[in-house]
A and B are shown apart, each in its own frame.
Chain A
Amino acid sequence: MFEVRIHSRGGQGGVTAARLLATAALHDGKYATACPFYGAERRGAPVVSFVRIDDRQIRVYSQIRDPDLVVVLDASVMETVDVLNGLKKGGQVLINSAHMPEFPGYTTFSVDLTGIALREKLVVAGSPILNTPVLGALAKMGIISAEAAKAAIRGMFTDERNVKAAEAAYKEMSA
């Protein structure tokens, strides 16, 4: 079983990112579950959501304690949240950043999702959309296939700019 924890701020679409990732895994023929952290969530406050991916039915409902991958949609949460907490030794970190941060002991990937969203004019109510482009980066990492990423995005959004942004993230991600 592959376990993912997504860090974002309330209102940034972290739950939708989890849903898109689970849907893409389903398109790949896998079984997946996605869930928000069940707290009293407020706009702007640091939040987490979770995704589990496996080849067989997932029977676990308790929270993910030691993820294989941590996705940071908003790097500013790192000022107050230890995003590496519980991350498996040698685990992966994908961060939305124009610069590659140092996470010794972990495999780090970075991509400027905010920049891509602004460039593609993927902005809703003044906030750049991060949850569709991040799927492109996850596809590049091999977590899901590129076809599944596109299918998941198109299943939920009709605006093709979402797919274009995901394609840009696929191309621009650094490892």
Chain B
Amino acid sequence: MKKIATGNKAIAEAVKQALPNVVAAYPITPQTEIVETIADYVTSGQMKSRYIPVESEHSAMAACIGASITGVRTFTATSAHGLLYMHEMTNWAAGARLPIVMANVNRSLGPGWNIWAEHTDAMQERDTGWLQVYVSTVQEAYDTTLMAFRIAEHNDVLLPVMVNLDGFSLSHIMQPLDTVEPGDFIPPIHLPHAIDTKNPTGYGGLTGPDQHFRFRWEIEHSMRDAVKVIAATEKDFAERFGRSYGPTENYRCEDADVVLIAMGTFGKEAEVAIDILREEGIKAGSMRLRWFRPFPNLDIAGKEVVVIDRDYSFGYGGIVAHEIMAKNQCEVYSVIAGLGGQEVTYDDMAAFVRTRRMGEEFWFGVSGHV
């Protein structure tokens, strides 16, 4: 049934249908509507889950870890400083191979205090062992959250999944949402290493120098297997519900000489910039990077590449741009734009492509190339 919903409500709706046994969360702008809505569902009896209000995000993730290790489905949501406060525990969740699903509403980090969209918060969780996906519409936020549970809990993955959506520009925008009856799309969770709460046993958690690297490799092995699990899950979703997704969303790329790459809502608005450039006779295409971990193989050989980073690694550069350069051994035009909710229009994006200077970095709104 189609209705109008915000990105936050769409996530809450998907979580209601995936029916996690435990939700533990702490509110933070612009995520609050997600956990507020879920708390309403639980209180009104629409969702038979245990909702644990906690005193901090560190505790939220710790509670999810405690619940997940007993073999039950778990969910939480956060944003920006809340995510960073979880950081120790996000590493633990991945290392303990717990298929926790978390929505992260991408928001800038202070100071200066700023509640608007930026991807640097999630980028700082890049190396934790979480799968990361960035969505661009209310519908995609809903669809991807449903898929996230199945992917995380798949026996070849057993890693946590972070669903990222842009603060305000997607969390608070209202768009049509078509909900589905998931049926058996998400099979019951079976955690092979779940602890037996009826027969409590103490374990030493120490892994020595002769073992630890093997556990690290296991995470990477599962991350590589996740590529196949994601593809199979997205294929099954498309067959059942008619909406298809992939590691990237490519728009007019086939014959393109130049490809504009971005994540989240910028990646969707980029399509409008491409239409403008095509009208001008510029053979441009756009590639919206959807899955960031595992990082996809991009079909960009022989094309010029312009990357918009809504994040930055100080002393190095745009994070997405540098990942693409390293992985593809290519040069890019690296645009830093949209930090802290900075307004970037499709006209601006078209200008980035028109005035590209390969190998250089450009900070939008700050004069000159650097």
Name the one of B2, B4, B172, B343 contacting A62, with C-beta atoms under 8 angstroms. Answer: B343
Q: Mark A48-80, 1 if CB is under 8 A from B, else 0.
A: 000000000111111101000000000000000
Distance in Å from the Cβ of A24 to the closest Cβ of chain B? Answer: 9
Name the interface residues of A26-60: CB closer than 8 Å to any CB of B.
26, 31-36, 38, 57-60
Name the interface residues of B49-92: CB closer than 8 Å to any CB of A.
none
- Please tell me if the beta carbons of A38 and B172 are within 8 angstroms of each other in the complex: yes
Interface: B325 (CB within 8 A):
no
Which chain B positions have C-beta within 8 A of A34? 4, 173-174
- What is the predominant secondary structure among interface residues of chain A facing chain B? mixed
Interface: A163 (CB within 8 A):
no
Number of A-B contacts defined by CB within 8 Å: 57
- Please tell me if the beta carbons of B343 and A19 are within 8 angstroms of each other in the complex: no
Which chain A positions have C-beta within 8 A of B328? none
- Please tell me if the beta carbons of B272 and A59 are within 8 angstroms of each other in the complex: yes
Name the one of B116, B174, B344 contacting A18, with C-beta atoms under 8 angstroms. Answer: B174
- Please tell me if the beta carbons of A62 and B176 are within 8 angstroms of each other in the complex: no
Interface: B3 (CB within 8 A):
yes
In the bound complex, how far is the Cα of B3 from the Cα of A36, in angstroms? 18
Interface: B169 (CB within 8 A):
yes
- Please tell me if the beta carbons of B344 and A38 are within 8 angstroms of each other in the complex: no
Which chain A positions have C-beta within 8 A of B124? none
Which of B34-42, B142-150, B217-225, B263-271 has 4 or more CB atoms under 8 Å from chain A? B263-271
- Please tell me if the beta carbons of B174 and A38 are within 8 angstroms of each other in the complex: no
- Please tell me if the beta carbons of B176 and A32 are within 8 angstroms of each other in the complex: yes
Name the interface residues of B243-272: CB closer than 8 Å to any CB of A.
265-266, 268-269, 271-272
Size bracket of the B interface:
20 to 34
Interface: A22 (CB within 8 A):
yes
Which chain B positions have C-beta within 8 A of A58? 175
In the bound complex, how far is the Cα of B290 from the Cα of A158, in angstroms? 40
- Please tell me if the beta carbons of A26 and B173 are within 8 angstroms of each other in the complex: no
Size bracket of the A interface:
20 to 34
Distance in Å from the Cβ of A52 to the closest Cβ of chain B? Answer: 10
Knowing A31-B176, A34-B173 are in contact, say whether A62-B341 is a contact too (CB < 8 A): no
Distance in Å from the Cβ of B141 to the closest Cβ of chain A? Answer: 13
Which chain A positions have C-beta within 8 A of B176? 26, 31-32
Which chain A positions have C-beta within 8 A of B137? 57
Name the one of B172, B266, B343 contacting A35, with C-beta atoms under 8 angstroms. Answer: B172
In chain B, what residue has the closest Cβ to A35? B173
Interface: B346 (CB within 8 A):
yes
In the bound complex, how far is the Cα of B33 from the Cα of A8, in angstroms? 23
Name the one of A19, A26, A33, A38 contacting B2, with C-beta atoms under 8 angstroms. Answer: A26
Interface: B345 (CB within 8 A):
yes
- Please tell me if the beta carbons of A62 and B174 are within 8 angstroms of each other in the complex: no
Interface: A131 (CB within 8 A):
no
Name the interface residues of B134-169: CB closer than 8 Å to any CB of A.
137, 166, 168-169
Given A32-B4, A35-B174; 5 other pairs, CB 8 A cutoff = A31-B176, A34-B4, A61-B265, A61-B269, A63-B343
The 4 closest A-B CB pairs, nearest first, are A38-B168, A34-B174, A62-B345, A61-B265
